[in-house]
């Protein structure tokens, strides 16, 4: 049963990173990436989901978790074992899908 759960986690990760990458290509105003950009958007409450690479240091992950909690932002830790996870790592290890378009 652990294998099935692990498989579901991988599929979920691939799906959410795939969604981010698709939006990055088609709706840039609905996504953010890079630590500073994502953190500033979390703080104004417009981030729906943050994707964090497992390659980030623990203290960075904790910083994002602490910022996300009061504004109801979801956090997903993404493994680097998949192609999508490697793409996230190469984009700066931090990405976000926004709640709505942001023209800032």
Supply the DSSP symbol for 33.
Answer: E
Contact 96, 31 (CB under 8 A): yes
Structure confidence at residue 75 (pLDDT) = 97
Whether residue 48 has pLDDT greater than 90: yes
pTM of the model: 0.93
45 or 1, higher pLDDT: 45
Both tokens of 83, joined, read 């192609």
Residue 100 has pLDDT above 70, yes or no: yes
């Amino acid at each position: 049963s652990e294998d099935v759960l692990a498989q579901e986690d991988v599929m979920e990760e691939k799906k959410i990173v795939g969604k981010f990458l698709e939006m990055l290509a088609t709706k840039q105003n609905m996504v953010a990436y890079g630590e500073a950009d994502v953190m500033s958007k979390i703080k104004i409450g417009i981030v729906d989901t943050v994707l964090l690479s497992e390659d980030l240091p623990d203290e960075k992950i904790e910083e994002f978790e602490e910022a996300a909690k009061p504004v109801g932002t979801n956090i997903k830790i993404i493994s680097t074992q998949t192609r999508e996870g490697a793409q996230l790592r190469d984009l700066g290890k931090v990405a976000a899908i926004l709640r709505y378009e942001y023209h800032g």
